[in-house]
Structure 1
Amino acid sequence: MRLIAHRGFADEAPENTVPAVEHAVAAGADVVEVDVRRCASGEVVVHHDETVDRVTDGSGPVGAHTFDGLQALDVLDSGAGVPSLAQVLDAIPPEVAVNVELKETGVAADVAALLADHEGEAMVSSFDQQALREMREADAAVPTAFLTDRFRDRPVATARDLGCSYVHPHYRLCLLSRLVERAHDAGIEVNVWTIRHAAIARLLALRGVDGVTSDRSGILD
C-alpha cells in the first residue's frame, strides 16, 4: 500500500504548510495530500477549513484574506504562514506524488494550470462532485478521486460516473463491505482515510486497499 501524508502528516508538523510537506517527503511519504481554496486576492492557497481560526493566529474566512495576509499568519505556532499551492508544489520532488483536495468549486482550472507545470505524479480529489466535474473539464488528463464517508453516495458507481481513477472512502466502508473488490473490478483504485492505528492498516491491506492516508508517518511500519 502507498502511504499518503494527510496534510503533510498533521500529527507531526503544522498541517498544510511548506514545512509539513518537506517533513512528509523526508519521512518517506509516497503521496502528500493537501487542501486548497481561493483567497481574496485570487491565489489558490493550501488550507483545510473555511476559516483560518482553528490553525492560525488570525480569524475569518480564507476567502476574506489576501495571499499576503495569509502568508503573515502563524499556523499552529510554527512560524509558517498559509502557503500557495504553487509554493507547496515546489516543495514536492518528482518522485513523490501529490493529492490536491478541492475544498470548493471554482478553483479547478487554476489547479490544473499549476499541475501542468509540476513534474511529479498528481491526483485531484474532492467530496464535491461538481468540483470533480470542473477538474475533468479543465484537464481530463489529471486523475481524479471521489471522496466519501457514506454508502448512500454509491462510492464506486459515482466514481465511475465521474470518470475518476480513484475512490477515497472512509476506511470503515472498506471493512464493512465489498467496496474494494467492486472498485477493482471497475478499474478504480482505492485510497482510504484517515488511519491512526497500524492494526487497522494491516486489515485494510488484507482487503486489498491500494493506499492509506494517515496523520502519522509510521503507520505502515
Structure 2
Amino acid sequence: MSTLRPALSSMLALLGSTTLLPSMAAQADALEQQRQDLQNFQVIAHRGASGYAPEHTWYAYDKALAMGADYLELDIHMSADGRLVAIHDTTLERTTDGHGSVKEHSLDELKALDAGSWFNQAHPEYADDAYADAKLLTLDDVIDRYGQDVRYYIETKSPKDYPELQDALVSKLEAEDLVQSGAVVVQSFSQASLQEIHDLNPDIPLIQLLWYSPGEDGKTLEEWTGVTPSPANITDADFQAIADYADGVGPNYLYEGEPVIDARFIEQAHANDLLVHVYTINDKDRMRRLLDWGVDGLFTNFPDRLKDVLAEAE
C-alpha cells in the first residue's frame, strides 16, 4: 500500500512545523479511507450514466451521481492547445457533430461542437431535446463543478499521442488536492502511462486495464497490449508484475458475448493483492454472476441497475 510521498514527509521534518501536522494527518486519513473503501464493492459510472444520457456530459454525470455511483469514470484526451478534455474516442465523429482528431482542435473549437444530438438519434427511448445543447467538458470543468465531493475514475487515453498527458494530469490532481483527499483513481491500458503516474505520485490508486480477445488463430485469447498472457496461462508472477505499480486490474468480461475471464481469474488476482474492476456490465444477470465471483467493482452505463442488484444481495 502506498504511503505519503517522501517529499511531503521530508518537508514536514525540515520545517518542524506543528501547524501543518493536523492537515497532513487529515490527508493521510483520507487516502487511507479511500483505500479501505476500495476493498468494498464500487459502482463505477462508465462515462457517467451513459446509458441514459450523452456520455461525458453534465447530463450523464449528474444522473450517475443521483443514482448513487461511487465513481464517475472519465476518459481524458488533450486538445491542440494542451487542455485535458473528457471524451472517449480519439476522433470526434461518433459523439459530436465535429470531424477529425481531438488533438487537432483547440479547446474553443471543441467547445463549439454539439456533443448531445447524436444520443437522441442513437437512443430514441431516452431522447431529450435538452441534450442537443450538451457540450464537451474539460477536466477543469468537471472538477470545478464537483470538487472533492465526488470520486473520479480517470483513464489516460492514447498516451502515446500526448507525451505530456501524465504530468499534466497529476499536476492538476495535486493542485486540486484530489489525490490527498482520496478522490481519484487512474486507469489505463498503457502500462507505461501507469508506471509514469506511479513515479510522479505513488499515492494515486492505479488500475491496469486489460482487453482479452482471440489472437491470430481465432481461438487463443491474447491481451491487447501484451501486459499478460491469456487468462488460461496467467501466472502469479504476471499479476505480481502489475502489483509492482498498480492496485488492481480492469479486465473485460466478454468478447463477442462469450466470457474471457472466470472466477479463478478473480481469485488469482485477489491472491496477489489486486483488486478486480470489470467493464462494462449493463445486464443484471451478468452483474449478479460477477458479484458471486467476488469482483470488487463494475463499470456500467446504468448505475441504477447495478444499485438494484446490490440491494437484492443485501
TM, length-normalised to structure 1: 0.92
Query: Does structure 2 conserve the Cα–Cα contact (< 8 Å) formed by 1:9 and 1:20?
Result: yes
Task: Give the secondary-structure state (helix, strand or coil) at the position aligned to 1:140.
Answer: coil
Structure 1 residues 154-181: Cα deviation after superposition (integer angstroms, max 9, x where no partner): 27345224x1011101124675351211
Query: Does structure 2 conserve the Cα–Cα contact (< 8 Å) formed by 1:146 and 1:164?
Result: yes
Q: What is the count of residue pairs matched by the alignment?
A: 220
Unaligned runs of 5+ in 1: none
Alpha carbons of structure 1 residues 214 and 158: separation in structure 2 relative to 1, 3 Å: farther
1:174-213 correspondence to structure 2 within 5 Å? 175-213=261-299
Aligned pair 1:122/2:184, yes or no? yes
Tell me which residue corresponds to 1:111: 169
Q: Which has the higher helix share?
A: 2
Match of residue 168, structure 1, among 250, 258, 264: 250
Structure 1 residues 85-132: Cα deviation after superposition (integer angstroms, max 9, x where no partner): 111123335353210001022211111112121345211001111111
Tell me which residue corresponds to 2:206: 144
Aligned pair 1:82/2:136, yes or no? yes
Task: Give the secondary-structure state (helix, strand or coil) at the position aligned to 2:202.
Answer: coil
Query: Does structure 2 conserve the Cα–Cα contact (< 8 Å) formed by 1:21 and 1:92?
Result: no
Write the distance in 2 (CA, Å) between the matches of 1:158 and 1:39.
Answer: 33
Structure 1 residues 17-57: Cα deviation after superposition (integer angstroms, max 9, x where no partner): 23322221112111110100111011111111011111101
1:15-94 correspondence to structure 2 within 5 Å? 15-77=55-117, 78=131, 79-92=133-146, 94=148
Unaligned runs of 5+ in 2: 1-40, 118-130, 213-220, 229-237, 309-314
Q: Which amino acid in the other structure matches residue 275 of structure 2?
A: E
Write the distance in 2 (CA, Å) between the matches of 1:181 and 1:25.
Answer: 30
Taking only the aligned residue pairs, the percentage that are identical comes to 33
Query: Does structure 2 conserve the Cα–Cα contact (< 8 Å) formed by 1:21 and 1:91?
Result: no
TM, length-normalised to structure 2: 0.66
Task: Give the secondary-structure state (helix, strand or coil) at the position aligned to 2:54.
Answer: coil
What is the RMSD of the two structures over their aligned residues, measured on CA atoms? 1.9
Query: Does structure 1 conserve the Cα–Cα contact (< 8 Å) formed by 2:90 and 2:158?
Result: no
Per-residue deviation, 1:195: 0.4
Write the distance in 2 (CA, Å) between the matches of 1:88 and 1:102.
Answer: 16
Per-residue deviation, 1:137: 2.3
Q: Which amino acid in the other structure matches residue 249 of structure 2?
A: V
- Structure number with greater Rg is 2
Q: Which has the higher strand share?
A: 1
